[in-house]
Each structure stands twice: as C-alpha cells, then as structure tokens.
Amino acid sequence: MVVVVALPTAAAPHVVAGLTGAYALRVVHTWAALEAALVAEPVDACLVDPALEGRGDAARIECIRATYPSTAVLLHTALDAALVPTLLRVGAVGVDTVLLRGIDDHRDRVRAVLERVAFRVRSSRVLDCLAPSVETLPSAIRAALGACIARPRAPWTVADLAQRIGVDRRTCSRAFARAGLVSPAAVLQVVRLVTGHDLLQEPGRTVAQVAMLLGYGRPRSFATHVRRTFGVPPSRFRLLPPEIVAARARARLNRAAAQERSA
C-alpha cells in the first residue's frame, strides 16, 4: 500500500519510524510536494497535517478529497484551538481519521488505522479483479463480500454472508443462482483466495501469516485450496501477476457454474 506522509519536518520522523517496512512510504513536507506525490502514482492513503506549512489550510484538504476521491485522507495534527475551525471544515468532506500528535499517534495506533484503510482498499481491488463475474450480483451482496474482504479473520461462511445481507441462506443462494453464479460457498472460497494473493504482495508477509489472516486453521489448508483453484503452490501463487490471478479466478467460477447448470 502506498502511503504519503505529509508532515512538518520536525513531526515526520516519529511517524515514519513506526511505519517503515510496513508500507511504501512517500515522505513530503510541503503542499507542492504532496501534490506532486499524488500526481506521480496511485496513492492509497495520505497522512497529512492540515497545518503543513504553519497554519491550517482546509482548502488544500478539500482539494485533495475532490481531486483524488479514492485516496483515504487521515489527519495528523497538534491539539490546538486555532485549528478547530479547519478541522470542522475538513470533517465535512470525508476525512477518515484524526490522529492527535503526542496523544494517540503511537506506532500501534497509526498502524491499526492504516490497516483498516488497507483492507478497505483491498476489498475494492479484489472485487474489481473478479468483475464481471460478481457484477451481476445485487449491490447488497457485493457490499457484504466487500465486508468479508475488509475483515478477513471473520467467518467466511454462507450463513455469515446471509446474515450480513439480512436474509436466510436459501434466499442468499437463490440470489447467486439468479445472477448465473455458482453457489455462495464457492464464490466465497475464490474471493478468499484472491484476497490471499493480494495480501501476499505485501513485503514481509509469509504464507503462514496470510493463512492465519484469512482464518485458515493451518497453512496446509490454505495451500491445498490455492493448488486446487489456481494450480500452483502458494510460493508460486504470490508471484502470479494480478491479471493472471483474476483470469484464473473467473475461469474457475465460470466452470463451476457450468457444471452446476448441467448437473
């Protein structure tokens, strides 16, 4: 995940030290440098001080939100009464979180906030990867699948998916059938594995760690499902380009749906 840290020179080292190695960091200290970083590449999250150059600048934050709506904006600032009007103004444009310098900006807190952002970004990426296979599903089901991806340790069961949607299992299964898809359990399995591939792209994550993140009791179970669905072991699975993973995942869903229809 690409994270731009836009903080004053004196404040940046504290935050950067806690994030180094976990994310692809781009550290800047001016509004102009922040804009250049956002233009240079897709950015998943931006951790920015609204008083980056000395005083609160709500207009800059509003511009970022309007120009780069897919980039999560998190504020990191001092507890200063003079900044209250700025914070109130930018709060109306969809700022994700406010971290107060020296109060709740310790390493674990910042990482936890960014991890939530990462899983939200991942859910969108995984569902985009599986389009058009899942585009025929009702929006409520797509949202529920996104919630499963965003909280991968939660149960990946049809009962849990149906509960998220607010229907029983049978109604959930009929919705998948009407969309021309295989059973919900099979779709969940493929979505889970594609999520695993996305997690494996992060530096430092082992196969065992990803298996645990996805709620598998044993790494061997994860490896078995990867081989069965994608035809390679996890060590090669992580090296597959996303477009190859997407193509194989869609092919798997299409084959399974055809087999169910002919049964």
> pLDDT digits over 35-87, tens only?
999 888 878 888 999 889 888 888 888 888 888 877 888 888 888 888 888 87
- Residues 113 and 123: their CA atoms lie apart, in Å, by 16
Q: Output the pLDDT for position 203.
A: 66
Percent of the chain with pLDDT over 90: 26
Please name which of 153, 156, 149 lies closest in space to residue 212, comparing C-alpha atoms.
153
Tens digit of each residue's pLDDT (9 = 90 or more) over 204-219: 788 998 999 888 989 9
- Torsion, Cα 187 198 138 255, to 10 degrees, reads -30
Give CA–CA dist 80/228, Å, rounded.
56
262, pLDDT greater than 80: no
> Does the structure show a pLDDT above 80 at 6?
yes
